[in-house]
Chain A
């Protein structure tokens, strides 16, 4: 489907757009620049998925919530942003949330009626609780996780991890190259 190197290239292309925005505003201190770099990297990573995954759409929606993020989203996604916005991501999210809430309450009511109170079930339910707890944790670290069912969550997590690794690879190469350039320049002086 998508090779790691093509993912890295997609990310780099989009991240450069974001970095250009960073560099155009010259009066940033180190901390503000760090936040801008990180935000632009996340938006670039998400947009490299072209709206195909839930986590990437959620990340972009979250980033658009403040002015800085919105600037990156508009720069990096450009015309795609208008199109993806028109697909009413927000409406879908609120609809999904409502459907999820409704189905959770229905399932809870059904379980109350049919739960057997035998000791054999106890160990099984403890294991299930552990998995439930860990699943909740996973949902909190994956963007948009709270709206996903178990299967989607794992699929999205797989994709998210691969994208994060591509992001880190590129950022590392960039940092190393910048360092080498800096050292070269210092030697020239």
Chain B
């Protein structure tokens, strides 16, 4: 065995460039892959462990319309075994909160009448402030999602505007409230003392709403419970239910997108690594053909020769996977910590030193390298000593080479029109078809990744431009009436909306609805239902800029447009009709359009207020938001400022841009780091691969360079011509990479995001930015070649020729 080790060690020691080159590629591939896997895994693990620890709800029933008796519903669930049920909690909605004089934009608050803690379901985890069974009078507990993003701490005071005035409460605790803490969420539960709730909330117009959380011992059994529950009710359950999938989805979305993209790229990179490995081993065997022959002639068996190669590359893989794994731990830790910050209680094991999944991934990488080394090194089996020593290659190849081939190449490079340096450069390119192919491949990939990465980040960062394609309105600003006692809609119309700068406006509200899901086969006895959230417009969807992927916006009292996931679940298309229960009343509506929306994973619908008014003529008073567009030439910001100064206490006014920023700045923060890391990795890989290919080639060609030098070419000329050749080749790669990045990779995003309600991710083509990505990999390639050719500089013709 010693001889195998000796051989392996000599190869490791004497082929430093090739070996470090393989090592770096393996390291980066392991880094990407194990980062992706750890991010996915840790996100899930962290969420699940927090969900278990808090005894998180699987479903949350919101009884808001008085259709079912809350107590009766609550009691029925409490009687079931295998289900833990929270107290029946009273709440009201508020949509205004300010801290330190700053209005917090875009919030939907559940003002909760806190029951005695600790809660049996959705137990709060106290991050700041002392854990108590219930908040003291005059204080409130707020969720981490609101606290962290607005820098609110225990002891600060927060204000809530209501119809009756302003409530000021002191923050007594910041809590992780598992079901309402996800990133990108705009809703949160504010926990109030019972007296405070009674004092401030019950005075407000409207009725108390009720909420109860359900936690199943076995979540997969929930259908059976629901069947019995609806049997008991005698009707379908017509209020809203939030289920586990939607409660957890936003914890996962960013990391899932990132991880899937990363895994995809890592797999690509591993393929490149394997190809490179094959290339290098084949090259090592070819260039050592004679040596292998000698070694075999002293009696070393083929098996052992192969073993030496396999040992060499497995060793390299082992050595390089370790730093990859360590860095990936840091990287994935950072990514997870960033996106899961709201779950961080400071005590949980966020930064486990080694992620088990990461370790397994690395083991997998080593195994793959081992197997491919075995495959590629098999070439050495056929080395016949006498032939190897005589020809330095196999007899077959020898006889192949002595027959004339490759005339087209010679012809191509005889063109008198090309400058000499170009011909010299291209000569080495065509001579090394395999190496050149690898260069094209890697330039293509890295250009594609750079272009796609830029496209993705740029599109998220400038999401204002495509906001309607993410399911939001694209109005200039929104106005919410916080205090109807001081300002009615009629007054608003008179004072604000009639302003000559206002181009158009619509009023919006929302409503919960339940949709029966038609059973397949038509043999339905019992019906399944799904709860969806409806946007209700008194006005014009088109003006406010809502868009559809198919069909048009609803305009009349019997029309609806639905989100892609609703359409998918129901199996309907534009033009079909559907039954829907709104506030307990059944309507049959024609589907006019299908749209995609990231909010609520497209489990939503859009109707006009006329639909509800047919059964509830008073509905209009519940519509407290108005979206408006301004005439051209009017500055939205100054208009918003002006209104805020005049109506600050009764109206919530915000430009659409600032609302969008609020949600998506988080997203940008989360994705920028990993995408930049990936882009950087690919640039580094390009440099490393090209550097190494050039080094290998230049070693082989050193005799030729010696001859060039001895006939009077300068080193600079030789290096320039080599680099020119590489620039041409990688330029070809970059050209192929652009369409791949622009058209090939985006569908990947569509696949990942379609579960979240976005079937066609709206990307913004920014020509300048994309163009600026193209030269990056070509430059990296050129630099790689230039650096690799440094050895030509120092060597004298004698050294080059003798080598």
| A, B co-complexed | no
Residues of B within 8 A of A (CB): none
